[in-house]
Amino acid sequence: MVNLTKLITKFHNLDSFRVVMGSNDKNLKVLNSLFDIEIFTKGEEIFISSKDPKIIKLLEKIFETLIAIANSNIIISERDIIYIASLSSNKEIDEIVDIYVNRLFITKTFTGKPIYAKTINQSQYIKAINSNDLVFSIGPAGTGKTYVAVVNALAKLRDGAIKKIILTRPAVEAGENLGFLPGDLKEKVDPYLRPLYDALYEVLGKKQTEDLIEKGIIEIAPLAYMRGRTLENAYVILDEAQNTTYNQMKLFLTRLGFNSKMVVTGDITQIDLPKRMESGLVNSIKLLDGVVGIEIIRFERVDVIRHPLVQKVLEKYEEYEN
């Protein structure tokens, strides 16, 4: 017979209970997957198939946090469940609730849906960009490094704070030798820049994105095309920077002009450069850490807001690599 434990939780009303559980108990299913135990309800009471005091205490804390967020009339998604569960082991309830109650607004999507910072590090990231001219963001895939940088750039373009957005990536897979690929420049580099387009389309829609690209207000180009330029009144994003060489990174960083911002993103655990070649991103972080006016934001696995299995996959790879 399974040993059941009743969690000490108190829902203020039926509406908050429904918000916490999610449609068809989908939020509860996410917690089941995360903790590999059975969690189920009887009426408004919650039971778990564990007698482990640590698990009991942690889940009670998670549900207390979820109830507080639900009581502030905030819809809780499956992504929120994953993030809140990840934070609950080392953050106080008030700290976690504050992320959702006092969410940092960035901009709106093409359809009018507000875009907020979803994690503590995303909030710090935006604040760092707003107060510094050069920001590095490093961390695993799925933490929002590129997406947040792009939508924040679009917010500044809408406000008139900048006149141009420049998005670039090193085309490592083609060895920066794009001449062997068929088509014009746009057709050659588009496959490498798809994540950037996805963020642009979400905020601007496809037609306005293409209009702004045609006018040169948004420029998307491979890193090789930055040579010899000074980038002023612009918001410049270098994505996948772990695949830059020392010389490429030096070239890029020295393009910074007045009234401009540079955001450099990358995952130093996924470097595709030839062996024995040092990543320009790794080198620049060593050189520039602590320089006034430059900030480095380090995202962690807890910031990965994807399917629960993604976090588990990352955890296993980290264990293997360490």
Q: In a 3-state reduction of DSSP, which class is residue 220?
A: strand
pLDDT, tens digit (0-9, with 9 covering 90-100), for 241-268: 999 999 999 999 999 999 999 999 999 9
Q: Which CATH class is domain 5-101?
A: alpha beta
Q: Say which residue the tokens 């408004």 belong to.
A: 44
Residue 187's pLDDT is 60
Q: How many CB atoms lie within 10 A of CB 200?
A: 26
Residue 317's pLDDT is 85
Backbone angles phi, psi at 256, to 5 degrees: -60, 125
Domain boundaries, the chain: 5-101, 105-321
What superfamily does domain 105-321 belong to in CATH?
A: P-loop containing nucleotide triphosphate hydrolases (3.40.50.300)
Q: In a 3-state reduction of DSSP, which class is residue 44?
A: coil
pLDDT, tens digit (0-9, with 9 covering 90-100), for 178-210: 444 445 555 655 666 777 888 999 999 999 999
Low-confidence ranges of the chain (pLDDT < 70): 1-2, 172-192, 305-306, 308, 311
Residues composing the chain: 322
Residue 37 burial by CB count (10 A; 0-12/13-18/19+): exposed, middle or buried? middle
Q: In a 3-state reduction of DSSP, which class is residue 108?
A: strand
Q: How far apart are CA 249 and CA 264, in angstroms?
A: 10
Strands of 39-42's sheet in order across: 5-6, 45-48, 39-42
